[in-house]
Chain A
Amino acid sequence: MAITYQVQIYVTLRPSVLDPAGVAVESGIRQLGYAQVEQVRIGKYIQLKITALDLEEAQQQLEQICDRLLANPVIENYRFDLVPITQEVAK
């Protein structure tokens, strides 16, 4: 039985890494008059579908994909959410 998951992946800059684009956007927000806004950080959002035998296998593969390609561990962290969307009976 294989399960297809809808996956949402968030890649964010590590706290120690400066984010000049975030700083620029923050100043833009403040220009608009929202003075209470702070600590703007810009990251990436990636969505995909993955089919795996079970949740554990899906998570394992997603971790590999993130470690190897979607995030650069030198500067980025990641997390992801999975929601099962179909459940197929093996033919």
Chain B
Amino acid sequence: MKFGIVVFPGSNCDRDMAYVTQEILRQPTRLIWHQQTNLADIDVLIIPGGFSYGDYLRCGALARFSPVMEAVQAHAAQGKLVLGVCNGFQILTESGLLPGTLIRNQGLHFVCDRVAVRVERNDLPWTREYLPQEVITLPIAHGEGCYYADSATLASLAVNRQIVLRYHGSNPNGSLEAIAGICNLRGNVLGMMPHPERAADQVLGLTDGLKLFQGILLGVAA
């Protein structure tokens, strides 16, 4: 199973992500510069965190027009897996692959912390290794992670079970419905603010993110 990690000018979690897929999962991994447009060899696409294009205008707004994004759209339309983490989540909402948007944290501060996150459904390739409603600990590090959508969109997210991750206990950024991660209708595109790649190696002290990656492997094997 081959992982592709999209690299924009300003991405900074790409190497961490590649470390997890290559060194921990032992899967072939290709870093994809944002100007490349052929993703035919890739099974799972990951849009990593960072500050693509310096977060100019709005987070993710400029990355959306990179040449690679058309191929990302096509990849998602084929039902293949796409994961966006942090800035990657912001890019997925800006590009319309996921509904809503991420705005300035309610407290205005950049929040760098470890937070409790509840896995709301475990019937997705992303979450099948977690228990139902399992509460896990993941790192977050963002200034614009407050999930916002209008009430009709929020209602449809609930009806279609698109809320995959919620902050548990305290809400670090004011996200509506305490949303930490959502998927598209089909479930093959997941966006999340917490960083699973920073919680996948024992050396870092947290490993709750590893199951997300292991679930992906199972998903394709099944």
Q: CB within 8 Å of B: which residues of A?
A: 16-18, 20-21, 24, 44, 69-70, 72, 74-75
Residues of B81-136 whose CB lies within 8 A of A: 93-94, 100-101, 103-108
| CB-based contact A18/B106 at 8 Å | yes
Query: Which one of A20, A24, A44, A74 contacts B101 once the chains associate, using CB atoms below 8 Å?
Result: A74
B58: contacting residue among A17, A21, A72, CB under 8 A? A72
In the complex, the answer to whether A75 meets B101 with C-beta atoms within 8 Å is yes
Q: In residues 45-87 of chain B, which contact A (Cβ within 8 Å)? A: 57-58, 61, 65
Q: How many A-B residue pairs have CB under 8 A?
A: 32
Q: Which residue of A lies closest to B64 (CB)?
A: A69
A61 vs B69: C-alpha distance when bound (angstroms): 23
Cβ–Cβ < 8 Å partners of A70 in chain B: 57
The reply to whether B108 and A20 form a contact with Cβ atoms under 8 Å apart is yes
Instruction: Tell me, in angstroms, the Cα distance from A82 to B145 when the chains sit together.
Output: 35
A16 near B150 with CB under 8 A, answer yes
Q: Which of B139-196 contact A (CB under 8 A)?
A: 148-150, 174
Chain A residues, Cβ within 8 Å of B65: 69
